[in-house]
Structure 1
Amino acid sequence: MAIKSLNISADGKREMTINEFKRWLKKLDADKDGKISRKELAEAVHISRGWFAKLKANREIRKVDSNGNGYVDESEFENLVEFAEKHLSVRILHLYDISLH
């Protein structure tokens, strides 16, 4: 599942708003259960040419899963911003970033 965005920053990261990021995360939900599993997150890391996809996904799920159910659900999607910026070559644009462009 490729990350589609028209805006690419100078460092090669795809730029998207938090709402675009949430829509993209929903596309990762292969079984359409409304949650991102370790396997689905690992697939995103792998597709983004990341190393150690399973390890990173397992660690991140444990870190951002605030309700402890083993998945990242829609209410926890914003918790994945830092992970996406580090491991998925994404830059999340915040309102102050957009006003500068």
Structure 2
Amino acid sequence: MAFKTTSINQNVSDDGRRELTIKEFKRWLMRFDTNKDGRISKTELRQIVKANGGWFSRWKGRAGIKSADKNGNGFVDECEIENLIQFAQKELGIRIIPY
């Protein structure tokens, strides 16, 4: 069970993992879209990793873009969000729930 709040660090399930709905995750991601182009760049993803308390943010930022950016343009856009969700669950320890 998750406690629904606006901060990612406060949405914690019974097993101690952070938990967000897909909508909350997308809204949280867009806070890091510094140029407001609707896409997440490698630099922006690095900031996401840092904000989540992650180590090796430069490496994880590159790895995240590589795993999520299926069209190879260097950004994660709306149609590639599912790939970024998988990365966040695996590398950032965030559980993404559908509702």
Q: Same fold (TM over 0.5)?
A: yes
Letter matched to residue 86 of structure 1: K
Deviation at 1:74, TM superposition (A): 1.4
Identity %: 49
* Greater relative contact order, per chain length (Cα 8 Å cut-off, separation 6+): 1
- SS of structure 1 residue aligned to 2:15: coil
Task: Decide which of 64, 71, 80 is 2:68's aligned counterpart.
Answer: 64
Matched residue pairs, number? Answer: 94
Asked if 1:32 is matched to 2:36, the reply is yes
Calculate the aligned-residue CA RMSD, in Å.
2.0
User: Distance between the aligned counterparts of 1:21 and 1:53, measured in 2?
Assistant: 19
TM-score by length of 2: 0.80
Sort the Cα spacing of 1:45 and 1:5 in 2 relative to 1 into closer, same or farther, 3 A.
closer
TM-score by length of 1: 0.79
Which deviates more, 6-15 or 61-70?
6-15
Question: Which residue of structure 1 aligns with residue 85 of structure 2?
Answer: 81
Question: Which residue of structure 2 aligns with residue 20 of structure 1?
Answer: 24
Alignment gaps of 5+ in structure 2: 1-5
Moved over 6 A (4+): none
